Each structure stands twice: as structure tokens, then as C-alpha cells.
Amino acid sequence: MSRRIELYDTTLRDGSQGEGVNFSLQDKLLITSRLDAVGFDYIEGGYPLSNPKDAEYFQRVRDLPLTRAQVVSFGMTRRRGVAAEDDIGMQALRDSGTPVCTIVGKTSAVHVFEVLRIDEAENLAMIRDSVAFLKAEGRTVFYDAEHFFDGYRANPEFALRTVQAAQDAGASIVVLCDTNGGRLPEDVAAAVDAVRKVLTIPVGIHCHNDCELAIANSLTAVDHGAIQVQGTINGIGERCGNADLISAAANLAVKKGYQVLRPGGVEKLTELSRYVYEIANMNFRSGQPFVGTSAFAHKGGMHVHAVARLSASYEHIPPETVGNERKILVSELSGRSNIIAKTDKFRLSHDNELMTRILNKVQDLENEGYQFEAAEASFDLLVRKEAGLYQPKFERLHYRVNVETEGDRETETEATVKLRVNDKIEHVVAEGDGPVNALDTALRKALATAYPNLTTMNLVDYKVRVINSTEGTAAKVRVVIESRDDKAVWSTVGVSENIIEASWLALVDSVEYKLFKDAEVPGN
């Protein structure tokens, strides 16, 4: 039976140090529940001394019905010259009421002498007192050895005495931290071996990705006997981020055969990754290992052909292993085999001339700034149009959007839309929070009588990209809109020099796609 490796998530604490990351209290509770469901062993919820939101989190998290994970509060060793029981950081950890507390302390002579400006004896006392105080309060104490690898490199004996002090005072584990992310796998291997020689308690690993080696360093530590890996979901965190627990878990389980998470947890990694991006209001990284939307995407014509023949050729694991899926891209380089794979559902691939027409059309539109890689619904309409499977649902006669403001008063936005729908003229006006919202509302108002099913859809995301022109013409704007109804999510694209027109084109595609989609489902 292979070893079980504990996963310690610090998304809510170290991850929240990342640029642009701000979790509300509610966000933190939602992520906690999700991490527990997937099977993380420890969830570091925050630094109770640092802000009131974290302290409140520790009150509220007690009401969550967690079934596996233990919640951890984080703090520093007591201040110098203060008794542990009088230290506000220690008190905050105690008051957090968590079963596990993690204390971070100094390992490195240079930090002790030049940052804290204390002597070695006081540093060791700070570690011992802090661990012992929380231990006496009945908590399990994890000791994070900050800058361990740098400290060990500079002065091995000094560094080893700090972790020995933590063990002596009752710590359950010593976690070796590559705090500035600067160390290489060979450094990690040597230091983990050395620590394991002097300690009887187990060792964990906490890496940052400043050299793009956080995963390699974490795996190396485990191979050298570490039992716990700390990191964050999607590797969010300050600077270049923490070790990404998604990649760590996938590599440990799928590539190295260790046990992690709950049974079935690895298959939930893709969903978990996207959930955390969503909550953190961050964009997915499409190229993220294992779980990115492009992680199993195929573009080159040659590859797509081979993937169809033998999927193991170009996929290092079956995408389902981590809950991801294969994706065939449409692009300039794609060649006929991609187009055939994408148009599969229309059963048109025998029509060579049509395939060429579609490929040419895609290339023309890509030259104008379109991209269909993230706009499958617009590509679907393009195929319908080229294949003669498209009838317009309405004719645009006119639209106008007006945004106006007077001094400091609220902005007023109005859109008028005039369409011919089934030989009737629909001429409507709508207000909105902004021009796209007003236009969307007016468009759907004009279509409401003819197509009542449009009420079930709504716009869920709106992205704008300015396409820099390298050839001196005016810059264009590409708008991608994500829409949703009760059954599906789809994306559409529009390109124009004018953001309003680009938005209109993407809105129209979205509405038309919805109407075609519903017409194909029996009973709709």
C-alpha cells in the first residue's frame, strides 16, 4: 500500500496575499466546504491577529458540517520579551478555537540577528514558548520553519536547532518553508534528509514558485520522506504564487501513486480549480497543468489526427482522470482534420468542398481579429451558415445607444432597437446599467413575442480585448460574451472597431445560438 500524503491548503491565508485576491468572509466559508468535500486534510483559514474578518471566520467555521478537514489558524511565534500568555498573537490563536494551530518562526541566523535583532537563545525560547503554550491549551501545533532552506544553507546547525526546539516543545510536525521560492530540488532533498536525521516527528514542505520549481520541490520533499504538502488552489499567492495543490495532488496521485484526498477526489480537481477561480473572481489560466481548459486541447492538424487514432499519443493521462476534457481547437494552423472533428455533430465531414469553405471562412475571420477558440457557439453558427443550415431569426433595421450624464448625477443609458421579426416591425426602447445591458434588454424585448424561450437565458460574463493593430489601421475590439440557460453555457464573439457594435454582434450570436439549440431539442 502506498503512503498517504497529507494536503494542507493555505489558499485562504497565504493565497490571499496574492495580487488581486480578496476573499469575503462568505467566500472563505464556501471554499472551506468545498475543500473538505474533495478531501483536503487541513484548511488554514487565516491569520486571526491580522484582521477582524479572519477572526470572524474562525467563529463561523465552527458551524460548518466538515467531515474530514481540520481547520487551522495561523500566527507567528510570540514577540520578543513577552510571555506567551500575554502575547496578543498567541491569544488570538487560542481564541480562534481551531483544533490545529500553525506557528511560523525564524530559522535563519540572518533573520534572527538582522531582522528581529535578538540573540539565538531568545529565538529558541520564542519557538519553544509559543509551541508549548498552544500545546498546553490542548491544540495540535504545526511548526512552519520560515526560510528553512536559506537558513540551512547558510548555517545548518543554527537551522536544525530551531526545528529541534519546536519538536522539544511538542510540535506535531515541522514544515520546511522555501519562503522566497529560490531553492532547487537538490537543495530540498539535502535539507529534508538532514532534518529527518535529527527529528523524530515528521516533516512537511511549503514551497513558492519563484523559480518555477514549486511542484518539483514539493515532489522531491515527498520522495525524501515528507508526509505533508502545503500549497494553494491554482497556486495563487504573492509574487509567483505558492505550490499549486492541484498540480501537486495530480502528480502525487496519478504520476507517483501516493494516496491523497478522498477516494474520487482527484477527479474533482478540475471542478475545484474553476470553483476557486470563480469565487476569487479571477480568470482561469487556460494553460494550467491538468485542469486548464487547454490542458488537453489539440490544435495542430497532425496532432489532432494522431489523437483521434490513439489518444494516449498526445495526452499524458486521460483528461477524465482529473475531471477535465479533451478540446479540439479551430485555428489558422488547424487544417482539415480539426474542422472535421469540430463539425462532427452536423455529419458533414464527407463534404470536402464545404470543409474547405469553412476553413477559409475561419481564416478570413481570424485575420479580422475573430477567435473561435473561446467562442464555440459563434463557430457553430458559422458552420450552419456555410452549410446552408441557417435562416436568420430577424433582420436588424436600426439600433441606437445613448449614454448621458449631467454633472455628478447618475449616468443615464438608453437603447432603441428596431427589428423585422417574422414580417412584423418591432421597435422598442430600454434602459440599462450600461450600454451593453441596455442593448441586450432592448434586443430581447423586441424578440420576446416571437421567441418567448429567450427569457430563460441570461448573460453571465462579458470580456473585452483590444486587438492592437501592428499595421497602422485603427485598433479593433473583440468582445466575448458568455451566456447561460438552465441547460447549457455558451460563448460568442464579435469584432469591430466599435465596442458597441462588437457587443451587438456577440449578443446576436448568443440569441441565435440559443434559438437553434432549443429548436433541436425535441419538445422545446
Q: By CB under 8 A, what part of segment 269-328 binds a copy of itself?
A: 278-279, 281, 285-290, 292, 294-300, 302-303, 306, 309-310, 312-317
Binding piece for a copy of itself, criterion CB under 8 A, among 194-202, 233-241, 385-393, 446-454: 233-241
Instruction: Pick left, alpha or beta for residue 108 (phi over 0 → left; psi -120 to 50 → alpha; otherwise beta).
Output: beta
- Residue span binding a copy of itself (CB under 8 A) among the ranges 135-143, 169-177, 193-201, 431-439: 431-439
Q: Which of 172, 180, 321, 453 binds a copy of itself (CB under 8 A)?
A: 180
Binders of a copy of itself among residues 149 to 178 (CB under 8 A) are none
Q: Which helix (H) or strand (E) holds 96?
A: helix 88-96
The three-point CA angle 515-516-519 to 5° equals: 85
Q: In angstroms, give the least distance from the CB of 450 to a copy of itself.
A: 20
Grid cell of 119 as nine digits? 540573540
Q: Is 433 in the site for a copy of itself (CB under 8 A)?
A: yes
User: Shortest approach of a copy of itself to residue 414 CB, angstroms?
Assistant: 10
Nearest alpha-carbon partner for 130 in 148, 143, 115: 143
Grid coordinates in use for 24? 469575503
The DSSP annotation for 435-452 comes to HHHHHHHHHHHHHTTT-G
Q: Which of residues 375-394 bind a copy of itself (CB under 8 A)?
A: none
Find the shortest distance in angstroms from Cβ 144 to a copy of itself. 13
Q: How far is CA 40 from CA 8, 201, 416, 507, in A?
A: 7, 21, 52, 41
Residue ranges of alpha helices (H) inside 238-342 are 245-250, 269-280, 301-309, 335-342
Distance CA 364, CA 256 (A): 46
Q: Which CB, 76 or 381, lies closer to a copy of itself?
A: 76
Closest to a copy of itself by CB, 112 vs 141, is 112
CB of 116 to a copy of itself, least distance (A): 10
Bridge-based pairing of strands 412-421 and 424-431 is antiparallel
Nearer to a copy of itself, 124 or 243 (CB): 243
Report CA dihedral (95, 97, 102, 105) to the nearest 10 degrees: 20
Q: Which residue, 309 or 345, is less far from a copy of itself as judged by CB?
A: 309
Is residue 262 within 8 Å of 68, Cβ to Cβ?
yes
| Residue 331: CB minimum distance to a copy of itself, A | 8
Euclidean distance between CA atoms 438 and 442, whole angstroms: 6
Residues 490-519 that bind a copy of itself (CB under 8 A): 496-501, 504
Is 170 or 330 the residue whose CB approaches a copy of itself more closely? 330
Q: Which of 332, 344, 364, 431 binds a copy of itself (CB under 8 A)?
A: 332
Determine the angle formed by the axes of helices 52-60 and 88-96, rounding to 10 degrees: 30
With CB under 8 A as the rule, give the number of residues binding a copy of itself. Answer: 114
Contact positions with a copy of itself (CB under 8 A) in 14-33: 16-20, 22, 24, 26-27
Q: Which one of 399, 428, 450, 516 is in contact with a copy of itself (CB under 8 A)? A: 399
Count of other CB atoms within 10 angstroms of residue 369: 20
Closer Cβ to a copy of itself, 204 or 435, answer by number? 435
Of the residues 75, 170, 241, 265, which one makes contact with a copy of itself according to CB under 8 A:
241
Q: Which residue has the cell 464527407?
A: 350
Measured CA to CA in angstroms, residue 415 lies from 121, 255, 409, 447, 481 at distances of 73, 55, 19, 15, 19
Looking at residue 255, the DSSP 8-state letter turns out to be I
Quote the least distance from Cβ 286 to a copy of itself, whole Å. 6
Beta strands 476-484 and 458-467: pairing type? antiparallel
Q: ∠ at Cα 481 (479, 485), nearest 5°?
A: 170
Q: Which of 73, 130, 167, 179 binds a copy of itself (CB under 8 A)?
A: 179
Q: Is 353 in the site for a copy of itself (CB under 8 A)?
A: no
- Binders of a copy of itself among residues 78 to 107 (CB under 8 A) are none
| C-alpha of 430 from chain center | 36
Give the x/- contact pattern for a copy of itself in 46-75, rule: CB under 8 A: ----xx------------------------
Q: Which grid coordinates are listed for 247?
A: 498540480
**Residue numbers 185-214 binding a copy of itself by CB under 8 A:** 185, 209-213
Q: Which of 63, 157, 353, 404 binds a copy of itself (CB under 8 A)?
A: 404
When the beta carbons of 144 and 518 are compared against a copy of itself, the nearer one is 144
Tell which positions 454-483 bind a copy of itself, by CB under 8 A. 461-464, 466-468, 470, 474-475, 477
